[in-house]
């Protein structure tokens, strides 16, 4: 599969309420992604939703939950503000083009029960991965499973599980799958409810050694499982 240039972008948003229900942080992400893609190509949206991409159960789409860096923290609540951002991308140019085109002229995103006004859309700057080593910092929890359970970055099986995930992604994209992962730092355990149950993980900063093309694809896709639900998005 031939790859083009960087296909990540961010959407500046403003929330219409001061807090967001915790179930809305990641829960609506999948529906938002499919709605955007469906508006441009219903066939691609149906394939991703029903089965995955090109015979694989993987869905090569990454999205962040709405992030509000300047929001005043509220105990027991997810604080919002008029200055937020949702980032998204895909290592598959066809999918990325659908996402970007869908945002053209859009004035709002309905994220669950919260309406987010679209303030602007900006392409991300390119990142040089030519040395074959990258330090990725996830702004949303990275999900890895072992023996049917979610595990955290301090688990000895986490690097092995994340390596397996990244190799699986490389195989789907037709890229070299030689990968090494080292966990450098991580955040606290978090649990989030989504449409089909719950997810448990933690933010993490990891060093990944791989082919430059694969590092670029990871940067556009995200780390770990359920990236279409807003997990594993890289800063």
**pLDDT tens digit sequence for 192-208:** 988 878 999 999 999 99
Cα 91 to Cα 61, 160, 184: the distances in Å are 7, 23, 25
pLDDT at 6 over 80: no
Average pLDDT over residues 146-153: 96
pTM assigned to the model: 0.94
| Phi, psi values for residue 72, rounded to 5° | -75, 125
| Phi, psi values for residue 75, rounded to 5° | -60, 125
Instruction: Please state, in angstroms and rounded to a whole number, the distance separating the CA atoms of residues 164 and 183.
Output: 14
The answer to whether residues 153 and 186 touch, using CB atoms and an 8 Å cutoff, is yes
Domains of the chain: 8-123 (3.30.70.1890), 133-229 (3.30.70.1900)
Q: In the numeric block, which tokens belong to residue 80?
A: 């919002």
The answer to whether residues 138 and 174 touch, using CB atoms and an 8 Å cutoff, is no
pLDDT digits (tens, 9 = 90+) for 171-194: 999 999 999 999 999 999 999 988
119 CB burial (10 A radius; 0-12, 13-18, 19+)? middle
pLDDT digits (tens, 9 = 90+) for 41-85: 999 999 999 999 998 999 999 999 999 998 888 888 899 999 999
Kind and range of the H or E run holding 110: strand 108-111
């Amino acid at each position: 599969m031939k790859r083009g240039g960087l296909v990540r972008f961010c959407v500046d948003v403003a929330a219409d309420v001061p807090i967001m229900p915790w179930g809305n942080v990641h829960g609506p992400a999948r529906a938002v992604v499919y709605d955007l893609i469906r508006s441009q190509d219903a066939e691609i949206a149906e394939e991703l939703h029903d089965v995955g991409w090109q015979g694989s159960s993987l869905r090569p789409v990454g999205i962040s939950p709405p992030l509000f860096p300047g929001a005043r923290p509220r105990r027991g609540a997810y604080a919002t503000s008029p200055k937020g951002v949702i980032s998204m991308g895909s290592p598959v140019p066809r999918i990325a083009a659908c996402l970007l085109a869908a945002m053209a002229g859009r004035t709002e995103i309905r994220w669950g029960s919260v309406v987010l006004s679209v303030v602007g859309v900006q392409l991300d700057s390119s990142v040089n991965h030519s040395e074959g080593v990258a330090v990725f910092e996830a702004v949303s929890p990275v999900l890895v499973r072992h023996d049917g359970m979610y595990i955290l970055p301090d688990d000895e099986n986490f690097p092995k599980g994340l390596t397996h995930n990244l190799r699986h992604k490389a195989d789907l994209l037709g890229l070299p799958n030689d990968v090494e992962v080292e966990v450098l730092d991580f955040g606290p355990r978090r649990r989030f409810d989504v449409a089909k149950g719950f997810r448990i993980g933690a933010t993490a900063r990891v060093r990944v050694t791989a082919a430059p093309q694969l590092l670029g694809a990871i940067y556009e896709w995200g780390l770990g499982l359920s990236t279409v639900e807003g997990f594993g998005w890289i800063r």
